[in-house]
Amino acid sequence: MSIGDNIRRLRIKHELSQKELAQIAGVTDKAVSTWELGIKVPRMGAIERLSEHFGIKKSDIIEDQPITLPASTPAGLATQPLHGKRIPVYGSIVAGIPIEAIEDIEDWEEIPQDWPGEFFALRVRGRSMEPKYVEGDTVILRRADDVESGRTAAVLIGRESATLKRVIKSREGVTLVAYNPDVYEPHFFSNDDVLSLPLQIIGDVIELRRKV
């Protein structure tokens, strides 16, 4: 395993986000991302801070020695492939900015290499999709400009950030539905609204990942 793989395994073992690991190492979360992607390697000072914090040898990070995940590691983390495709986790997606140009990357997830299509992930905000999706969850989405009626999707409405909602289609238009109507009542958009706002679907939810 490379240094990046060892660092990622260490982070997963302790159920930390890249931001949390970065605080321990005294670097930015973007620096941790470049380590895990193999773009850069950490400086010795950061390695020393990690080894001291976790009570491990510096060689456990530097050398070709994978850090074993414990049996108690949550299943959702343990089963994530360590050599799949990496996709960014966005905190928000704003209308008018191409996804690939967004710099608000909070973390990275991995998906199987053989999944067809283009993917990204979103961090769930708010309580409108409870109890199925709760704040802090990560949803994996396949990029798409349309979904079947009844699917949960990431939707851009006018100039707002992307919202996660169920998309219900009819001849007259589209209704966005939340699982928690006390927070977000169903919103209907006519066909004219869809075009004039516009209302744009950008991703189809494929998988939910939750840290416990």
- Per mean pLDDT, which range of 146-150, 158-162, 205-209 is the poorest? 158-162
In the listed set 35, 55, 78, which residue is the last one of a domain according to the structure? 78
Q: How far apart are CA 79 and CA 62, in angstroms?
A: 24
What mean pLDDT comes out for the span 17-24? 89
21 and 37 fall within a common domain: yes
Annotation says 85 is catalytic? no
Domains contained in the chain, number: 2
Band (pLDDT 50/70/90 cuts) for residue 39 is confident
72 and 142 fall within a common domain: no
100 and 193 fall within a common domain: yes
By three-state DSSP, how is residue 62 classified? Answer: helix
In the listed set 61, 78, 95, which residue is the last one of a domain according to the structure? 78
101 and 51 fall within a common domain: no
How many other CB atoms are there within 10 angstroms of residue 110's CB atom? 16
Annotation says 17 is catalytic? no
54 and 129 fall within a common domain: no
- In this predicted structure, what is the pLDDT of residue 103? 64
Select which of 19, 59, 165, 169 is catalytic: 165
What mean pLDDT comes out for the span 137-141? 92
Select which of 128, 161, 169, 211 is catalytic: 128
Does residue 124 surpass a pLDDT of 50?
Answer: yes
92 and 73 fall within a common domain: no
176 and 104 fall within a common domain: yes
Report the CATH number at residue 48.
1.10.260.40
164 and 100 fall within a common domain: yes
89 and 189 fall within a common domain: yes
Query: For residue 42, what are the contacts with CB-CB under 8 A and spacing of at least 6?
Result: 3, 7, 25, 27, 31, 35, 50, 61
Range of the domain at 100: 85-209
64 and 141 fall within a common domain: no
92 and 70 fall within a common domain: no
- In this predicted structure, what is the pLDDT of residue 116? 85
Q: How far apart are CA 208 and CA 31, in angstroms?
A: 26
Q: What percentage of the chain has pLDDT greater than the value 90?
A: 42
Does residue 209 surpass a pLDDT of 80?
Answer: yes
50-99 confidence digits (pLDDT tens): 999 999 988 888 876 543 433 433 434 433 444 578 889 998 876 666 66
21 and 115 fall within a common domain: no
Does residue 42 surpass a pLDDT of 80?
Answer: yes
Report the CATH number at residue 114.
2.10.109.10
In the listed set 78, 113, 132, which residue is the last one of a domain according to the structure? 78
pLDDT mean across residues, the chain: 83
